[in-house]
Structure 1
């Protein structure tokens, strides 16, 4: 299916209207998975011409996506990843866990961005970050498309590693997302240490419902939460 190449239009607008010199694109992957972290990439690309074929990672074949990620690693000005673990997702809820992962990614950059382009319509980052949300930003904005590809390839690799010893769950194929093989393995073996135990999929597995966690909201800001719940993949 043909698609339009992403541009620097939004980034140029931010530079003109806010004076931002360093703009980071941010995208996430893993929000809808049953297992594994939610992962975020923050990428700074400047205004250089994008590599050929760059677009939303979901529109790319796996081999092409992996090859493009390798190209992007040497092309982007800077990039960093942030992850929130299944335990953090269970305890904090997805929105707070997603923000935590995004802050970790942004703070992992060698320079602090003056502005952030966030894929989607919901600003889950908020102050003190200066955020511009863009629906389908992973298709229209170069820096967000780069973040999309890098995040997807990194998390897929992580899930393949987590699947070693849990081959029935086929994490290398489904990346922790729902699939027939994943569901069958859950029914037979129950959740692995990498599963999100507060999620509704356990409601359909009566033999494992006793493992389901009830989330108790954690009060405090992201900095306080990060200190309480450190996790490193």
Structure 2
């Protein structure tokens, strides 16, 4: 199914209405995973024509996504990644962890952006950043689409490396599922329980009586809110 390619329409609108010159597209990956970090990429692209086939990373095959990431690393004006660990997610809640990862990414850029385009409808970044939220921005905005691909490829690689380097992670299939729910992941959790790389405040532990005692209770104010991505249970 063909998709309309992303454009610079939002970037041009922000430039025209605010005078911003450096605009970063920001997108995250790993929000709904049971294990691993949440990863945010900030990408500054300017208004040049993007590589062919750029769109939301979820709509691109893994092989093409990896190839496109290599092209994007050379094409973007600048980009940086930020991560929030499973421990930080458990302590802070997903909204605050996303903000932490995004700030780490934005702070790592060589030049501070004048404005940020954030994928989705919720502004988890907030002040002092000038933020424009765009629903499905990873499909419609060039800078956000670039951030989507770069974040996805890097986090997937991190999870595959974790599977290869850690004996206790080998049975979880992180190289295939990247820490997201899957039959292999589910079966390994039932048999072996969570690793230090799992999020221990997630509700999947409610369905594992033998490991339920490991579940952490969040202590931050934001911990009480249900996060639609990471708080989904799983029928074990």
Q: State whether TM-score is above 0.5.
A: yes
2:177 aligned residue (174, 177, 192): 174
1:13 aligns with 13
Alignment correspondent of 1:210: 213
Task: Choose the corresponding residue for 2:194, options 191, 195, 218.
Answer: 191
The residue that corresponds to 2:133 in the other structure is: 133
Offset at residue 13 of structure 1 (A): 0.5
Measured in 1, the distance between the counterparts of 2:216 and 2:120 equals 29
C-alpha deviations, 1:147-166, integer Å up to 9, x for none?
00000000000001111222
The alignment's TM-score, normalised by the length of structure 2, stands at 0.92
Q: How far apart are the structure 2 equivalents of 1:25 and 1:66?
A: 19
* Aligned equivalent of 1:231: none
Q: Which runs of 4+ in 1 moved over 3 A?
A: none
**Quick one: distance in 2 between partners of 1:187 and 1:74?**
43
State the Cα distance separating 1:218 from its structure 2 match: 6.6
Query: Where does 1:115-130 land on structure 2 (aligned, <5 Å)?
Result: 115-130=115-130
Q: Partner of 1:151 in structure 2?
A: 151
Note the aligned Cα RMSD (angstroms). Answer: 0.9
Structure 2: runs of 5+ lacking an equivalent: 223-236
The match for 2:89 is: 89
Instruction: State the match for 1:230 in structure 2.
Output: none
Structure 1 segment 212-227 matched on structure 2, within 5 A: 212-217=215-220
> Which runs of 5 or more structure 1 residues have no equivalent in the other structure?
220-233
Q: Which runs of structure 2 are paired with 1:32-111 in the superposition (5 Å)? A: 32-111=32-111
Whole-angstrom distance in 1 between the partners of 2:120 and 2:219: 27
Give the equivalent residue in structure 1 for 2:163. 163
**For residues 196 and 162 of structure 2, what CA distance do their matches in structure 1 show?**
10
CA deviation profile, 1:160-187 (whole Å, cap 9, x unmatched): 1111222210000000000000000000
Determine the C-alpha separation between the residues in 2 that align with 1:12 and 1:108. 24
